[in-house]
Amino acid sequence: MSLLQELGAQLRATSDELPTGLVTVAMERLRSATELLNWVRQTSVDPIGVPQLGNAVEHAEHAAAALRLAQDAITAYLAAVGLGGDPGTGDRDWREALKPADEPAPPPPDAAPPPPEKLGSWWRKRVEELTGEAPPAAEPAAPEPGKADAAELLRRLAGGVRSGDRARLGRDLHAVSASSGLALSAVTPPVLRRLAGDLLGHEPRADDVGRLRSATTGRVKSLLPGAPPAVLETLIARVCRAPAPEGAQTHPADSAVTASVLTGVLLARLGRDASSLDPAAPEPLREPDRARKPGNNA
């Protein structure tokens, strides 16, 4: 190996080790928490930490932008010295987002049980409004909706979207707790950007908003007839790094549910199974010259 090739390998390894994925996931989790608190504070005069979270989101956005700028600079340098033909491991944000979160330490045996979740009925009511599917009839012995791993829930929901079964989508969403459902807002953004890039054949840009809108809106509306149009528009704008439309504050569940359905729609357009969202799955091929057109059905 020549000295130039060794330098290129070291630079590539440095680029791949930058914590872009971790920072992106942290940023989306902060943004999700901010949206939820913004909704809650509508009934409270106490700002309850929203300004502090807003500052944290801004810092995370600056950090993510700086990391991407460093990676772009390394890529441009390698191309300039003739070493651009050997790609690194690629954008791993979506893998970081789908990795299981660290489990909290178990409480001591003599600790009091945690209080029951207070958002269950709130979550189910909004899911019914979005999907048009009523929650299952309450039974005396029926268990309360439980916590679920966000990545596994996303795969389950995305798999159901491909079949176009709105009743199944409603059942799957009603079956989980509010905290599990809201966690989808933090998991989906890196996944959506990766899937959109694979569909377009390049990293999503601001001028791709119209293409993604035409490729996804009809299917999303058929599964979520009660979702405000601004929610999907905002998600697509964020995927394309474009300015989000201004509008009224939406319900926190809207973004989580709509992003999950949008993930399933993009998977269907790409002809991929929901199992490809496993962070241990092989890296999907990206072939710009053979990329599917967004208007084509998978």
Phi and psi torsions of 116, nearest 5°: -65, 150
pTM value is 0.69
Comparing C-alpha atoms, which of 97, 90, 68, 67 is closest to residue 12? Answer: 90
* E-only strand ranges, 218-261: none
Q: Report if residue 206 sits inside a domain.
A: yes
Count up the domains in the chain and report the number: 2
Q: Report if residue 262 sits inside a domain.
A: yes
- Angle formed by the axes of helices 184-200 and 150-163, nearest 10°: 50
Q: Report if residue 111 sits inside a domain.
A: no
Please give the C-alpha separations between residue 229 and each of 106, 185, 226, in angstroms, as whole numbers. 42, 17, 9
- Regarding whether 264 and 188 lie in a shared domain, the answer is yes
What is the span of the domain harbouring residue 4?
1-90
Please give the C-alpha separations between residue 9 and each of 20, 92, 253, in angstroms, as whole numbers. 19, 18, 44
Lowest-pLDDT choice from 63-77, 82-96, 284-298: 284-298
- Regarding whether 95 and 52 lie in a shared domain, the answer is no
Q: Report if residue 287 sits inside a domain.
A: yes
Contact criterion met (CB below 8 Å) for 239 and 193:
yes
- Regarding whether 95 and 61 lie in a shared domain, the answer is no
- Regarding whether 194 and 151 lie in a shared domain, the answer is yes
Q: What is the pLDDT of residues 165-197, one digit of tens each?
A: 899 999 999 998 888 888 888 888 889 988 999
Q: What is the pLDDT of residues 88-109, one digit of tens each?
A: 444 566 777 677 665 544 555 5
Q: Report if residue 80 sits inside a domain.
A: yes
